[in-house]
Amino acid sequence: MLAKVGVHHYNGTAAFVLGLQSFEIMAIAAVGNNLITYVINEMHFSLSKSANIVTNFIGTVFLLALVGGYLSDSYLGSFWTMLIFGFVELSGFILLSVQAHLPQLKPPPCNSNTAVGEDYCEEAKGFKALIFFVALYLVALGSGCVKPNMIAHGADQFNPADNPKQSKKLSTYFNAAYFAFSVGELIALTLLVWVQTHQFI
């Protein structure tokens, strides 16, 4: 009876991690892949500066994975690292959403300059730019530290040494983890990007 409960516990925890993996990659991919459009159209940064902002953001996410792995292995463990930095990432997404929806936190719309024949766009500066970058790098910090721990935490729920059947379940789990990653990425790059793009037109 206890063995059955243990197996159900393992499967339930691993399934939760797979769901978390799918939703996390969905959120970060949707933001990352549509970010340059938002930075140019809403924050009015130049194309070169916008491209730099996006590449710095994506690079920071992957570099911070080293920090997340170190904190997990040396101090917090995978569960607490995921929990703490999951809330950090969530707070970044919330702040980014608030900033995107409040006109007070964005530069004014572009004004048409009929004399020159082109639009004048005021670049986001000061407090507005600060809110945007704080939100963006909260997301980067949270996502970077969560990424290296999600799949590892799910794998920790299986113990092939005590139960040989767990070895096959572990192999299935890794296949399911890649599938969850791919599904999240697919939804982000189709449905979510479409919704974001049409919202800002």
pLDDT score at 18: 86
Residue 49 has a pLDDT of 94
Can you give the residue ranges of every domain in the chain?
Answer: 2-199
Residue 108 to residues 25, 122, 134, 190, 192, Cα–Cα distance (Å): 32, 7, 20, 30, 26
Residue 5 is predicted with a pLDDT of 36
For residue 117, the model assigns a pLDDT of 52
Question: pLDDT of the chain along its 201 residues, tens only?
Answer: 333 334 444 567 778 888 888 889 988 888 888 888 899 989 999 999 999 999 999 999 999 999 999 999 999 998 899 999 999 999 999 999 999 889 999 998 887 654 555 677 889 999 999 999 999 999 999 999 998 888 888 888 787 777 777 778 888 888 888 898 899 889 988 888 787 767 654
User: What is the value of pTM for the model shown?
Assistant: 0.83
Distance in angstroms (rounded) separating the CA atoms of residues 139 and 86: 9
In 2-125, which residue ranges form alpha helices assigned H by DSSP?
2-41, 47-71, 77-101
Those residues whose C-beta lies under 8 Å from the C-beta of residue 113, and which sit 6 or more positions away, are: 119, 120
Whether 146 and 89 have beta carbons less than 8 Å apart is answered as: yes
CATH code linked to domain 2-199:
1.20.1250.20
pLDDT for the residue 2: 31
Residues 6+ apart with CB under 8 A from 169: 10, 11, 158
pLDDT at 170: 81
Q: What is the pLDDT of residue 8?
A: 43
Q: Which residues contact 73 (CB under 8 A, 6 or more apart)?
A: none
| Residue 112: predicted pLDDT | 61
Looking at residue 174, its pLDDT comes to 86
